[in-house]
Amino acid sequence: MNIDGLKFTLEEQGSAILDSVYTTLELQQIVACIKEASQNDDNLPKTKDLFAIRQLLNTIPQLKKFLFNQKLLSILSNIYSTPYFLTKAIYFDKPSTSNWFVPYHQDLSISVNQKTDSSDYTHWTYKRGQYGVQPPLSILENTTTVRIHLDDTNAHNGALRVIPTSHLKGVIRVDKREWNIQEEYICNVKKGGVMFMKPLTLHASNRTTNNKQRRVIHLEFCNQMLVSPLEWLEYQKI
């Protein structure tokens, strides 16, 4: 799949995969950067089932030069016709012994700098010292999720399962099962590959059953500013 084909597939299907976005050397640099930071910061959460670093680029700013290589920047510039920016960055390590799974859902919440009264922003949360809120649909429709895979990922170690075209239906009542499970697609991604996804795409992941690690860097980008005085919590120009 070329870059133009990726944009079309992402818009039509809600997700797309591109192999070999990162070289072996680039992956080694990314992994080494995260490893060094995790060893030197006792405040980073570590459990036997999950290791996650939220606000990743605020925590490890030196990662930015490795993540935003020329290939990724070219893809993002093709996806967006107007200036875009980073809105979220998380590192997930699903260990080989992990037995947790995530049921089907849409990513409806964004991270913001404060709580405010606005009828267009709903379902407020406050977790891990930061505010989350469901923004207007136009914000979610103009958001692109980028999942950088540091390991080979398939159905046996937590590859995402998606329902194609579900992002075209707006916010879906998950409890009503307003989708056909027969349409499910498993997003196998090779090490160094990237999965692109619209946050309104229904997605889920299973438990790990093959004793293999799954490390992913989850980035979100958008080209829409929020209603004042709200600001994106992790806003960064690229």
| Cβ atoms of residues 166 and 179 within 8 Å | yes
**Which amino acid, residue 31?**
V
pLDDT at 12: 97
pLDDT at 223: 98
Sign of CA dihedral 206, 89, 111, 76: negative
Domains of the chain (ranges; CATH) run 3-237 (2.60.120.620)
Query: Is pLDDT above 90 for 175?
Result: no
* Among the listed residues 155, 123, 128, the one whose alpha carbon sits nearest the alpha carbon of residue 140: 123
Query: Is pLDDT above 90 for 90?
Result: yes
The secondary structure of the chain in percent helix, strand, coil, rounded to multiples of 5, reads: 25, 30, 45
Question: Best-predicted range by mean pLDDT among 86-100, 119-133, 163-177?
Answer: 119-133
pLDDT at 182: 77
**More confident call, 193 vs 157:** 193
Tens digit of each residue's pLDDT (9 = 90 or more) over 3-17? 889 999 999 999 999
pLDDT at 2: 80
Sign of CA dihedral 53, 54, 58, 63: positive
Tens digit of each residue's pLDDT (9 = 90 or more) over 184-232? 999 999 999 999 999 999 999 988 888 888 999 999 999 999 999 999 9
Tens digit of each residue's pLDDT (9 = 90 or more) over 33-83? 998 888 876 666 555 555 789 999 999 999 999 999 999 999 999 999 999
Calculate mean pLDDT across residues 166-173. Answer: 93
Long-range contacts of 223-230 (CB under 8 A, 24+ apart): 223/80, 223/82, 223/83, 223/84, 223/85, 223/142, 224/138, 224/139, 224/142, 226/112, 226/135, 226/139, 227/118, 227/120, 227/121, 229/114, 229/116, 230/112, 230/113, 230/114, 230/116, 230/118, 230/121, 230/133
| Cβ atoms of residues 161 and 186 within 8 Å | yes
DSSP characters over 47-68: -SS-EEEESHHHH-GGGHHHHS
In angstroms, the CA 139 to CA 234 distance is 15
Query: Is pLDDT above 80 for 176?
Result: no
Lowest pLDDT segment from 36-40, 59-63, 91-95, 101-105? 36-40
Percentage of the chain exceeding pLDDT 90:
75
Task: Give me the chain's average pLDDT, please.
Answer: 91
Calculate mean pLDDT across residues 118-141. Answer: 96
Find all residues with CB under 8 Å of 64, minimum gap 6, and list them. Answer: 57, 236
In angstroms, the CA 96 to CA 75 distance is 31
Query: Is pLDDT above 60 for 96?
Result: yes
Q: Which helix (H) or strand (E) holds 94?
A: strand 85-94
**Which amino acid, residue 11?**
E
